[in-house]
Amino acid sequence: MITSLYPVIARSTSLCVRACGDHLSVPDTSGSGADMLSTAFNLTRLILLGTDVEAIEVFWARTWPDWQRLLSLSNEANCVNSVSCSRSMDHLKLIHQPLRAVSHSVFLDLVIFLVTIKSTNLTSGRESITHAVARLEIHLQATASTTTGGKLHKAKQSLADSVQHTTKPDCENIRKSIRADMLASEKLRALRTRR
């Protein structure tokens, strides 16, 4: 069963997110950090859509500390604002963004996703997740950053509304969206390697 591989997948995802955090402290002009972060995010979303609650909790317990570490490193004053590539949500094109901004954006996407799928991890880890979002908000206010302002507001609102939200998530369409994101990431990677 695929769930038997969750501990292995968790370890791989954990190492990938940890490596992304390490890339925040070194010049990353090749965009490797953003590539790894995109892969880790897509894989995390697929795993969280699974049906084995116990296996998902094992996965989350292993990977969440590394997402927290990534956020902490991205908020540090000595974080190298290196150039990476990101994907436009409107159409495919190369956009040069600092890895710090990409990290913040993906982290907020993860929080919003947890709310969207009504993850049990959101219930058990709400305090930790809410605290992480609050720390990011403080950092963005202190640095007068507006790059993820809209997404930050959406994440905070989603967390606030999630307590009363009872609509079941459309998992099939969510999976299709993730597959589309993965294909888009591959196309960007192929374009960049040809440059």
Domain ranges of the chain: 2-193
pLDDT at residue 164, rounded to an integer: 66
- Residue 25 has a CB neighbour count (10 Å cut-off) of 13
Task: Write out the E strands in 5-60.
Answer: none
List of residues 6+ apart from 83 with CB closer than 8 A: 28, 29, 31, 96, 97, 98, 99
Q: Name the one residue in this structure whose structure tokens are 């954006």.
A: 105
Taking only the tens place, the pLDDT of each residue in 50-108 is 888 899 999 999 999 999 999 999 998 778 754 444 444 443 333 445 788 889 999 99
Q: What is the pTM of this model?
A: 0.85
- Name every residue whose Cβ is closer than 8 Å to that of residue 9 and which is 6 or more positions away in sequence: 43, 47, 59
Q: Which one-letter amino acid corresponds to residue 93?
A: K
